[in-house]
A and B are shown apart, each in its own frame.
Chain A
Amino acid sequence: MKSAWEILVVDDEEIMRESLAAWLREDGYEVETACSGREALDKARAKEYAIYFVDLKMPGGMDGIETMMEIRRLHAEASIIIITAFATVDTAITAMKEGAQEYIVKPCNPAEISMLVNRIIKVKNLQRENAILRKKLSRQYSFHDIISKNPKMLEIFDLIKEIASLRSTVLIHGGSGTGKELIARAIHNSGNRADKPFIGVSCAALAETLLESELFGHEKGSFTGADQRKKGKFELADGGTIFLDEIGDISPKLQLDLLRVLQERSFYRVGGSEEVQVDVRVIAASHVDLRQAVQEGKFRDDLYYRLNVITIYIPPLSERREDIPLLARHFIERLSHELAKEVVDLSENALKLLLEYDWPGNVRELENAIERAIVTCRSKILTEEDFNFLQRSIEDKKGWTVPTHLSLDELERQVITATLQRTQGNIKEAAAVLDIDRSTLYERIKRYGIQRERLVEK
């Protein structure tokens, strides 16, 4: 539908901009005009137009190319058509290099301009349709807030549905940030305990005594500060599910207590003598390999077997890269609302960058990266520049190959140069990374003729 699209015509000559605007209006577009680059920017700040017609030669300090560059800063994917009466190859090349989508010489044939506008609008319509379909697809690949189209993850979704209403203990393995708690919640919410409590406990966050009290509760006067009886998480979760995150970090004593709860379905509050019976489903998670911890004697084997009735392994994000676009767009949609910033998508280059990155912190790191990019971005589309903080890591990684054709001196020069680049020329930091003292680093910089200023600029 044409009328959904707005066009901005920027030209200092009134007759030029208004006659073009009138002609485009006859074609059904909403058209606004601006008589200078500055006015165009004010309008572009207020809203995004489908097409910007910008005259190359405009007085008042801001010509068409500058106007175009500023508009592009606001709207990275803007379709800008540069208009000029001076058909020189140079200006055409400059305009295209700086990001003009098209370049037209006035006066042009009505068919030419009509085809140009139709072509751009057709692409815009397809992009819009694509966004709608992507949203639909994202919903299709969404399972209780977990988004994936990875075959292994889809198997997990199926497994969750199968085991949701069982009482069996579940052990979730997965790296930090893979979404272990989300999986636990999905199990809880898919089963017959969904209307009962889901209680999460991070076992790594608390000291042993505190954790014991946290899990099992305590009686009044059982320890200093225990001025009243307090219910533990197991009691609070009665009828529902308790999620014990980072279970590999608990002490041998707590391992024993936990084993007892799993076997007897009952426990004693700290300082108490009354046995408390509970009906709780236990879902435990660990980022460390519990089997190995058992072999090393750090984790009780009987507890491990009690926990390991149903095991779910969540692959790291680097093993399910096909989910990166889905997740990135899901986070953009959610976080742009939360942060009250109008960001609608990310550019192809930005997506390429996200796909190249290794995501050691998994989905949580991706979410944080999207949030950081949204906070700092200046347009509706996240560009690769908005992810510069990731790019440095990629470049660092790409730069690491074992050289076999260099002298030791050359190798040392390259290592020092690369380290200084990474530290933005900071000597203290570079010396720390290289594990040499500052005076040695200064001496090597001098010896190899490394110019720090240039490194900083890069």
Chain B
Amino acid sequence: MSVNRIYLASMGHLDADILEDLEEALTMHFGFETRRHPPIAEPEHAYDPQRRQFSAVAFLQQAVEHCPPEAVKMLTITERDLFIPMLSFVYGQAQLGGKVAVVSLAQLRQEFYGFPSDGDLLRERALKEMSHEMGHTFGLIHCPERLCIMSLSTNIRHIDLKGSEFCGGCRAVLRENTAVTRAGGSEVLAWEERL
């Protein structure tokens, strides 16, 4: 039986204390009760020594394994710099229309670009990226509206420029899909189920 709950967890050690803000934002954006999950260990063999980055796929797989059966969605946060084989980095990764998503704080930090640490900016970026990846789990695809939270960000400048809200179109689809999720349906793509 579905209890309509989103779980939020750190994966590995988190330097930033932002889970509380994310928890609040999750409830606000998606309208589900949000519950903190105990920290999850980083997956073994996720580190690629040549790239000096961590496999986003391995992190997603780890999230799937730890996702409580009653969860409608699960968001995990990591400090690690993530990649997929084709791309030099990803800010986050999600199962499209699935259950889990992961957001990396590594390239959201000002320090990554050689600037002094900025907690507020990190929080703002993390909230946007969290909403974006969770949007994917609710079946939303990238939006051509540049200010929409679902627009594709391929650099940090764009994350800063885009808004923190869903555009009208995405909001409508989200409303419909969250209703379906509440009713108990959550479609997971075949490959993502194997993760």
A interface residue numbers (CB < 8 A to B):
2, 13, 15-16, 18-23, 25-28, 83, 106-111, 113-114
Contact = CB atoms under 8 A, between A and B. Distances in A.
A28 B89 contact: no
Contacts of A113: 86-87
Contact of B86 (A26, A27, A106, A111): A106
Interface string B78-96: 0000011111111001111
A358 to B, nearest CB: 49
Nearest to A3: B141
A108 B192 contact: no
A109 B191 CA distance: 24
A16 B191 CA distance: 13
Contacts of A108: 86-88
6 contacts: A19-B57, A20-B84, A26-B94, A26-B96, A106-B85, A107-B87
A83 B86 contact: yes
Range class of the B interface residue count:
20 to 34
B98 to A, nearest CB: 10
Contacts of B152: 26-27, 110, 114
B136 interface: yes
A109 B86 contact: no
A20 B93 CA distance: 11
Contacts of A22: 84, 93, 95-96, 189, 191-192
Contacts of B96: 22, 25-26
Contacts of B87: 23, 107-110, 113
B85 A16 contact: yes
A434 B185 CA distance: 81
B51 A107 contact: yes
A81 to B, nearest CB: 11
Contacts of B84: 19-20, 22-23
B140 to A, nearest CB: 9
B86 A20 contact: yes
Contacts of B93: 22
Contacts of B90: 23, 110
A27 B153 CA distance: 11
A110 B142 CA distance: 13
A113 B142 CA distance: 14
B56 interface: yes
A27 B86 CA distance: 15
B191 A21 contact: yes
Contacts of B142: 26-28
Contacts of A83: 86
B154 A28 contact: no
A19 B56 contact: yes
B125 to A, nearest CB: 16
Given A108-B87, A113-B87, A114-B154, 14 more contacts: A2-B141, A20-B85, A22-B84, A22-B96, A25-B96, A26-B136, A26-B141, A27-B142, A107-B85, A107-B86, A108-B88, A110-B89, A110-B152, A110-B154
Question: Lowest 6 A-B CB distances belong to which pairs?
Answer: A111-B154, A28-B141, A19-B84, A110-B154, A20-B86, A16-B85
B136 A19 contact: no
A107 B88 contact: yes
A302 B64 CA distance: 95
Nearest to A112: B154
B155 interface: yes
Given A110-B90, A111-B155, A114-B154, A19 B141 contact: no
Contacts of B89: 110
A109 B85 contact: no
A180 to B, nearest CB: 53
A86 to B, nearest CB: 14
Contacts of A20: 84-86
Contacts of B141: 2, 25-28
A18 B51 contact: no
Interface string B118-155: 00000000000000000010000110000000001011
A391 B142 CA distance: 47
